[in-house]
Structure 1
Amino acid sequence: AKALTEHLPMMWLAARQTPDFRTINRFRSERLKPLMDTLFSALTHLLIKEGYVDGSSYFLDGTKIEANANKYTFVWKKSVQKYEEKLQLKIDEMLQEIEKQVELDRIQIQQETNAEEKRISSEVLQAVARSVEQELIKRDEQIKETADHKEKQAQKQALKPLKPLRKIYRTLTTDTLPRLRKNAFIPTT
C-alpha cells in the first residue's frame, strides 16, 4: 500500500489506484489463498536455485552442494532430496505461521471495528444535549405559565423524576462536550 503511493512503477501497475492495505491483504488472503502456498514454494525454490537467496539455514552439516568455484564437486542425490523435503517442511511451517498471524490481524481489526461502532459520536451527544435542553425548557415554561400556586407545586412534584435528566444535561454541557471539543476539534454550535 505504501509502495502504491511512493514508487512510480507500482503506481503504473496499479493504474494510480491506491487500495488500502486491508484491501490488499483481503485480496491476498481470500482470493489468492489457493495459489499462495504453491507460488510461495515455487518462488523460494527458484530463488535458491538461481542463487539469490542463501538456503544454508535449511542444510544439515555435511551436505554437499555443487559450487561454482569447482566443477568437480558433486551433490549426492539423497542429500538433495532430503534437503528439498526439509525445505518444503520449513516452508509449510512458515505458511502456517503466516496464516496464524493473518487470522490474529483479522480478529484485531474486527475488534477495533466493533469498538469504533460502539463509540458514540460527538454529533449524537450534541443532538441528545439539544433535545434534553428543549424538553427541560418546555417543561419550565409550562410551570411559569401556570398562575395557580398549588398547580405549580403539583407540576414541580411531577417533574422530580426529571432531576437525573437535568444532571445528565449539566454533565453533557459542562464536562463531556467541552472536553470532546478540546480534544477532537469539534465545532461549537
Structure 2
Amino acid sequence: MESNLADLQLTSCDITIHLEVHNNSILDTTCDITIHLEVHNNSILDTACDITIHLEVHNNSILNTTCDITIHLEVHNNSILDTTCDITIHLEVHNNSILDTACDITIHLEVHNNSILDTTCDITIHLEVHNNSILDTTCDITIHLEVHNNSILDTTCDITIHLEVHNNSILDTTCDITIHLEVHNNSS
C-alpha cells in the first residue's frame, strides 16, 4: 500500500473500508473487530485523497462475550500539495442485545507531521450507538483524536466529531464516554 501511494501523482487516491456485521447470534465467544490503517511517508501531488471508514454493527444478539470494536488510523509524515484531503470515520452500533459482556468501542485517529498546502482538510468522526439493550456490562466509548505538528497554509481545516447515544437500556453497568482531542503545534 505504501509504495502505491508514494507513486501517486495527478490521480485520485481513495481509501475506503466498508464493514457491516449484522443479523448474527454470538454465544460464549470473543468478538473483536479491529481496523488498523496507516498512511505515511507519502508524497501526494495534485490529487484528491479521501480516506473513508464505514462500519455498521447492528441486529446482533451477543451473550457472554467480549465485543471490542477498535478503529486505529494514522496519517503522518506525508507531503500533500494542491489537494482535497477528507478523512471520514462513520460507525453505527444499533439494534443489538448485549448481555453479560464488555463492550468497548475505540476510535483512535492521529494526523501529524504532515505538510498540507492549498487544500481543504476535513476530518469527520460520526458515531451512533442507539436502540441497544445492554445488561450487566461495561460500556466504554472512547474517541482519541490527535492533530499536531502539521503545517497547513491557505486552507480550511474542519474537524467534526458527531456522537449519538440514545434509546439504550443500560442496567448495572459502568458507561464511560470519553472524547480526547489534541490540536497543537500546527501552523494554519
TM tier, smaller = under 0.3
Higher relative contact order (CA 8 A, sep 6+): 2
| TM-score, normalised by the number of residues in structure 2 | 0.19
The structure where helix makes up a greater share of residues is 1
The structure where strand makes up a greater share of residues is 2
Say which one has the larger Rg.
1
